[in-house]
A and B are shown apart, each in its own frame.
Chain A
Amino acid sequence: MHDRQTISLDSLRARRGDDAAGRLFLALITGAVLLAFLMVGAVGVDVVAESWDLLSNRLWGFLTSPSSADAGRAGVSQGIRGSILIAGIVILTFPIGIGAAIYLEEYANDTWVARLIQVTVRNLAGVPSIVYGLLGLAVFVNGLQGITGGRSVIAAGLAIAVLVLPIVIITSAEAIRAVPAPLREGAYGLGATQWEVIQSQVLPAAMPGILTGTVLGIARALGEAAPLLVIGAVGFYTTGNQDFVEQLRGAFSALPMNIATFAREPAETWRGHAAAASVVLLVLVFLINLVAIVVRARISKRLGR
C-alpha cells in the first residue's frame, strides 16, 4: 500500500511526460480539422480570386453570352440553360424515387423482392458516375433516339436522373422510417387505409427529410460532369432557327462542361473563365441549398419539432 502521506497534489496532477501523448494526439487531430477547414477555404478563395477580374468587369455579359473562341466574349449562358434543364428533368423523376422509398418502408414485408431492391439501390449508389454516362449513351442516346434526339439535354437529364435516383431513394426511405410509429397507429386506429395513412400522415411528417434528399440530388445533378462528357455535351453550339423542341433534342451544354472546357485550355486567359463558371455553379448550388433549408425549417416548425 502506498504511504498515505506521500499523496500530494503533485502526484495527482498528471505528469507532463504522461500527457505528452495525449497532447500530441490532440494536436494531430486538431491539425486534421484545421487542414479540412483550410481545404474548403482554399478552394473558395482560389475560385473567387481567379474569377474576380472577370466577374467584376463583365458579370452580366458573362452570364448572358454563350461560349466562344474569343475570351473577351465567352460566357456561360448556354451552360446555365443546360444545367437548369437537366435539373428540371431530374426533379421530374423524383416521384419515382420517393415512390420506391414508400414501397420499401411501408409496403414491403421483408420479402425477397424488398431485399433485392434494397441491395440493388445500395450498390447503385456506389457506382461511379461515368458508368451512368455509359448507360445514358447506350440507352438514352442510341436506344431511345426517337424520343430524345440523340446527344441531347433530354438524354443527359435522364442519365443524370438515373444517377441521382439511389440517393433520393435512400434519403427518402430514411426520412419515412423516422416517422414515429404512434403517428401511424393513431391514423390506422381511426379507420384509415394504408394509402390514406401514408398520404395524410407519413409523407407530410417525412417531408423535411425527403426535401433534404431531393436537394442533395439536385446539387449532385448540377455538379456532375462525367456523364455529360460521355453523352456529348459541347462547349458551344448554335441553335439557328430551331424551335424549342428541336433545341431540346439538339446539341446542348452545361455548366460543369463549361468549367471543364475552360480549365483544360492551356492559355492563361481562360483560367478566369473557368473560375467564374465555377462561381456561378457554386452560387446556384448554394441557392438551392438555401431554399431547401428555409422550406425544411418551416415545415419542421409546423410539425412541432
Chain B
Amino acid sequence: MGVTAPTAGVVSVPSLASRAVGATLELVVFIVIAAAFGVIDYYLDAVTGGLGVSAFWISFWAMAIWSAWCWPAAQRFASSFSGNHIAMLDGRPASTVTIAAREFTRAGLLYGLPLLAIETNVVPVLVLMALAGVFISRTAGRRAPWDLLAGTIVVEDFGGPATMIERSEVSSVADLQLDELRNRRNAVARRVVLSLGFTSVVVSVLIVWNIFSEAAEFFSAEDFSWSSLQGIGWFPRRGIFDVWTLFIGTLWITGIAIALAGPVGLGVAFYLSEYASPRVRQIIKPIIETLASIPSVVLGLFALSFITPQVLQPLDDSIGFASLLAAGLGVGILTVPIIASISEDAMRAVPTELREASYGLGGRRVTTSLRVVFPAALSGISAAFIVGISRAIGETMVVFIAAGGSGGAVLEYDVRQEGQTFTAAMASLGAGTDSVAGVGIAFQSLYALGALLFVITLMLNVLSDTIVRRFRQVY
C-alpha cells in the first residue's frame, strides 16, 4: 500500500487509504442528501401527503447517476487542460461508457445493498454481499472488492512534470508570507477542531441542565410531599418514593460486587505486575480485556441462568429466581477488569529501583509486593476501587434482569430476595408504558433519581482523581 514510484507517463495511484477516505466522504454526502430529502418529506407530508418514495432511495438514485456521469465528466474536463487522460487502476485508458458502468455498479453496491438490507432483512443481504465480495476477489484479485468500494477511477497528476521550486529573492517582509489558500485552510481547520472540542462541554452542560431542571420539577410538583420519600417501598406509580429502599439495594449490590471484584482484581493485578513473565502476560491480559468487553446484558442473563441455579441455589434453596445476591455477583464479574487494570497500571508505575532495593535487602517477592509495591501504588489502587464502586453503582442491566423488582420494590434487607437499585428503578420507570406522555410525578422521579446518581458518580470520580493527584507517592 502507499504510493509506488511512478515512472514517466504512467498513472500515479493514490493509496487505498486515501481513496477509502474519499469514498467515506461520498457516503457522508449521500447521507446528507438523504437527510435533506427526509426533512423535505416530513414537511411535505403535512402539506401534500409526502413524496411517496423513500427519501433514501431518491438520494441513492441521485448518487448513482452522479457517480456514473458527473465524476468522469468532471475529470475529463479537468484533464483536457493537462493533456493527460483518465486511466483505470491497471493503467489502461477507459472510455466514458466503461467508467459509467463501473461507477454505477459501485454506487449500487455501496449505497443500494445496505439500503436494501435495512429495509428488508439485514442478514440475508449481508451474506449476499459477502459472497459477492468473495466471488469478486476470486476472479479479479484479492484487492478487487476493496478497490471497487473505494473507487476505481484514477487520474494522472495534473500539470505534467514539476520543477524544483524557484528560489526567489527576499527583500521585504512581504516575501515571507504564506499563500492564501494554505493559510485559510489552516485557520478553518483550527476553528473547526476547536468547535468540535467544545461539543463535549456542550454535552456536559446539556446533561446537567436537563436532569436537574426535571428533577427540580419533581420536587416542586403539586402532589409531591417530603413524606412520600418514606414508605413501604419504591412504588413510584402509587406515589410512594421510599428512597431508602433503593439505597439499601444499591448498597448491597455494590458491596457484594466489590467483595468479589476487589480480591480477584487485586490478585490478578499483583500477578500480572509482580509475578508473570511477558509470555504469560500476553495470555492473561487479553482474557481480562475479554471480560471487560462482555456486555452487561449478557452478564445479567448469566446471573439468571447460571449463577442462580448452579451456584446459589445448591447452597441455599430459598433463593428464588431473582435475587440481589445473584445480581451482585454479576456486577462483581463486571467490575473485576476495572479494578484489575487500574491497579495493575498503578503497580507497574512503581519504579523498578524500589523493588530492586527491596530484593537487594533480601526480601522475597511476597514481601516486596506487599510491603513496597502495594503502599507505593496505594493511591492508584484506591482510585481503582473508587472507579469500581462508581461503576457498580451505575450498573443497570444486570440488576434489571437478575434482581427482579421491576414494578415496584418493597424495602428489603435480605439479599436472597429481590431488590431494586437506583439504576434499575430508573430503567423500569423509563421503560414502562405510562412514560409515553412524559408527564406525571412518577415519571419525573426518574429525573430526580438521575440527578442523584449523577451527583454521586461525579463525586466519586472527582474523589478518585484527587486521591491520585494528592497522595501519589513522589518517587
Contact = CB atoms under 8 A, between A and B. Distances in A.
B304 interface: yes
A285 to B, nearest CB: 7
Contact of A84 (B122, B270, B364): B122
Given A32-B266, A120-B200, A92 B193 contact: no
Contact of B268 (A32, A223, A302): A32
B333 A39 contact: yes
B387 interface: yes
A29 B427 CA distance: 37
Contacts of B387: 126
A47 interface: yes
A100 B298 contact: no
Main secondary structure of the interface of B (DSSP, over half): helix
B366 A26 contact: yes
A294 interface: no
- Among B115, B207, B264, B301, the most chain A Cβ lie within 10 Å of the Cβ of B301
A196 B187 CA distance: 11
A55 B337 CA distance: 30
Given A123-B461, A130-B394, A193 B178 contact: yes
Interface string B286-315: 011011011111111110111000000000
B431 A229 contact: yes
A99 interface: yes
B211 A33 contact: no
B431 A128 contact: no
Given A107-B194, A122-B461, A302-B2, A285 B293 contact: yes
A131 B211 contact: yes
B143 interface: no
- Contact residue range for chain A? 35 or more
- Contact residue range for chain B? 35 or more
- Among B294, B296, B333, the most chain A Cβ lie within 10 Å of the Cβ of B294
B454 interface: yes
A120 B270 CA distance: 32
Contacts of B268: 29, 32-33, 36
A149 to B, nearest CB: 8
Contacts of A131: 207, 211, 394, 450, 453-454
B31 interface: yes
Given A32-B265, A133-B426, A278-B297, 20 more contacts: A22-B364, A22-B365, A25-B369, A40-B290, A42-B306, A46-B306, A100-B199, A127-B207, A130-B427, A130-B430, A131-B454, A138-B211, A138-B214, A139-B206, A166-B200, A194-B186, A195-B186, A199-B189, A260-B401, A278-B301
Interface of B: 1-2, 17, 28, 31, 37-39, 41-42, 53-57, 115, 117-119, 121-124, 178, 182-183, 185-186, 189-190, 192-194, 196-201, 203-204, 206-207, 210-211, 214, 263-268, 270-271, 275, 284, 287-288, 290-291, 293-302, 304-306, 321, 333, 336, 340, 364-367, 369-370, 387, 390, 393-397, 400-401, 406, 423, 426-427, 430-431, 438, 446-447, 450, 453-454, 457-458, 460-462, 465
30 contacts: A14-B364, A18-B364, A19-B364, A29-B271, A37-B287, A40-B290, A42-B302, A64-B123, A81-B122, A85-B118, A95-B196, A100-B193, A107-B194, A122-B465, A128-B454, A134-B447, A139-B210, A193-B182, A193-B185, A219-B293, A232-B431, A243-B53, A243-B55, A263-B300, A264-B401, A275-B301, A281-B297, A281-B298, A285-B295, A298-B1
Q: Which 10 pairs, one residue from A and one from B, show the smallest C-beta to C-beta distance?
A: A32-B267, A128-B394, A223-B295, A99-B196, A230-B430, A103-B197, A243-B54, A195-B189, A226-B396, A244-B54
